[in-house]
Amino acid sequence: MCELLGMSANTPTDIRFSFSGLIQRGGRTGPHSDGWGIAFYESRGCRTFHDPTPGYRSEVAKLVATHSLKSRTVICHIRKATGTSKVCLENTHPFTRELWGRRWAFAHNGRLKGIKRWPLGAYRPIGTTDSESAFCWLLGRVRERFPTPPERVQALSAYLRQLCAEIATTGTFNMMLSDSRHLFCHCSTDLTRLTRRAPFGKARLIDTELSVDFAQQTTPRDIVTIIATRALTHDEPWQAMGRGSFTVFRAGRRMRA
């Protein structure tokens, strides 16, 4: 299985600390050595990096880990290939597509039996993963239901919740999806979250000898929520997200459904 990392913040925030922990699981402290990718939103733009090599020794990952690319919304994925989908660039998450003049990013952990046989609409997969097929199906259904953006995000969230529940009937669907403004998360089995806000303290990564004092890098107004498959740090109050849950974050805060 793969692992996911997401961030929602109310101010452009550096994710290098969390990324430095997760990427170690890409072949060094974990078996997820079949590629990795990350998407950073910058206003309406989306900067992406992908590499089908193990993350812990990827030169591209070293670039991301050593350069401060601040963002309000981030989605990251480390891959453990399953089934018959080969290890290659086109099968590396996050996948992206355009809808309503926005770049949508998607990453998934789990296996979905038979999803590739579901009829598709406006979007087609480039690679061979069940994940990308699910993304194309999901975004195509959203496009059919809402040819233009709905006035209320609650209407979109309710429909996405319904679609995610339908996909989850085929297998494990731990998912992160963003339209640059919101971070939508569906948990089938394993997702956990942590919100950092004032008063900020210190944190130490589980997978590598790295610690940080967030009080030295933040302001009292900052709110940053990190979502991951498994906790990334020691001694912080990570909270498991319920199985079957669908959660929306914006500007670091959990939105009401």
Tell me the catalytic residues. Answer: 2
**Burial class, 29, CB count within 10 angstroms (exposed 0-12 / middle 13-18 / buried 19+):** middle
Residues 6+ apart with CB under 8 A from 250: 8, 153, 181, 182, 183
d(CA 199, CA 176): 28
* DSSP states of 33-102: -S-EEEEEEETTEEEEEEESS-GGG-HHHHHHHHS---EEEEEEEE----TT--SSGGGPSPEEEEETTE
Backbone angle region of 101, left / alpha / beta, with phi > 0 → left and psi within -120 to 50 → alpha: left
What pairing do the DSSP bridges indicate for beta strands 95-99 and 102-109? Answer: antiparallel
What pairing do the DSSP bridges indicate for beta strands 245-250 and 45-51? Answer: unpaired
